[in-house]
Homo-oligomer: A and B are copies of this chain.
Amino acid sequence: MTVKQLSLPDLAEACAGLGVRAVGLWRAPVHAYGVAATARLMRDAGLRVTTLCRGGFLTATDAGERAAALDDNRRAVDEAAALGTDTLVLVSGGLPAGSRDLYGARERIADALGVLGPYAREHGVRLAIEPLHPMYAADRCVVSTLAQALDLAERFPAEQVGVTVDTYHVWWDDRAPGEIARAGAGGRLHAFQLADWITPLPEGVLEGRGQLGDGSIDLRAWRGHVEAAGYGGPIEVELFNAGLWARDGREVLTETVERFRRHAMD
């Protein structure tokens, strides 16, 4: 998503040229290119798929909408398995229109995980609940902290449900380092993503993530937290940024690799 202006073949080629060996994919471009074709493309380029983004949106109250959401999430699990990744990132969903009941919405997520967890496990896929920054609580994700995400995840086996840690969403939270340790101890630290925090936030607050090093987040410290908790998996860089999307994708990817080396490596 950091370089969504690149086609998947261009992405694969650019990654290979930069020594990037693994990549997280979003569903929309995978659907457009074809799931099997994407899997082949990545395999042929020597690229491992780290995670598939995203399942979720599990908070609807309407029965038809709930059934549709479960179906869509089963398809996302199938796609993840086909792409060879063991991790499906979940963005849980916001409040249904007119609702003010955050607690009820979180319980409906738990209900859905009870169905989707075993299905994912059967297909070799782990669900990774991603807490989103509290500014998205109403319209995108009622799970706003790692503590909330783990409270949900821990109702299910760790092989079924864990969490995603994204620095953009948790950096302000003084409890997050402790919750990362809790997640690691429970074998639930399933994905780790980097983005920096810059201001002012744009209207709608969706496309204002900062390039690594441009903002307020001590990225190296957060990498230290997850590694101290036993995380040895891939580190994704996920930048939703209209300015980056307007530039040449290969240039942005090159810059991102350089920023990663400078701000997130030892």
Q: Verify if A240 is at the interface (C-beta below 8 Å from B).
A: no
- A107-124 CB contacts (< 8 Å) to partner B: none
Residues of B within 8 A of A198 (CB): 138
Q: Which residue of B lies closest to A200 (CB)?
A: B204
* Residue of A101, A144, A172 with most chain B CB atoms under a 10 A cut-off: A172
- Given the interface pairs A202-B203, A205-B201, the reply to whether A218 lies near B101 with Cβ below 8 Å is yes
Cβ-neighbour of A173 out of B95, B134, B203 (below 8 A): B134
Cβ-neighbour of A199 out of B139, B175, B202 (below 8 A): B139
Q: How far is the CA of A204 from the CA of B138 in the complex (A)?
A: 18
Q: Verify if A216 is at the interface (C-beta below 8 Å from B).
A: yes
Q: How far is the CA of A95 from the CA of B218 in the complex (A)?
A: 12
Residues of B within 8 A of A147 (CB): 175
Q: Which residue of B lies closest to A142 (CB)?
A: B172
Residue pair B134, A216 in contact (C-beta under 8 Å): no
Residue pair A100, B216 in contact (C-beta under 8 Å): yes
Residue pair B203, A172 in contact (C-beta under 8 Å): no
Q: How large is the interface on A (under 10, 10 to 19, 20 to 34, 35 or more residues)?
A: 35 or more
- A132-173 CB contacts (< 8 Å) to partner B: 133-135, 137-139, 142, 144-145, 147-148, 171-173
Residue pair B172, A216 in contact (C-beta under 8 Å): no
A258 to chain B, nearest CB (A): 19
Q: Verify if A192 is at the interface (C-beta below 8 Å from B).
A: no
Q: Which residue of B lies closest to A217 (CB)?
A: B100
Residue pair A172, B137 in contact (C-beta under 8 Å): yes
Residues of B within 8 A of A102 (CB): 171-172, 174
- Given the interface pairs A101-B218, A218-B101, the reply to whether A134 lies near B201 with Cβ below 8 Å is no
Q: How far is the CA of A113 from the CA of B135 in the complex (A)?
A: 28
Cβ-neighbour of A201 out of B99, B172, B204 (below 8 A): B204
Q: Verify if A260 is at the interface (C-beta below 8 Å from B).
A: no
Residues of B within 8 A of A137 (CB): 171-172, 197, 216
A239 to chain B, nearest CB (A): 17
Residue pair B200, A134 in contact (C-beta under 8 Å): no
Could you write out 7 A-B pairs with CB less than 8 Å apart?
A137-B172, A137-B197, A138-B198, A142-B172, A148-B174, A200-B205, A203-B203
8 closest A-B pairs by CB: A137-B172, A138-B216, A134-B172, A100-B218, A135-B135, A203-B203, A200-B204, A139-B199
Q: What 11 additional pairs, Cβ within 8 angstroms, besides A138-B215, A203-B203?
A: A100-B218, A101-B218, A102-B172, A102-B174, A133-B135, A134-B172, A137-B216, A138-B199, A139-B200, A144-B172, A200-B204
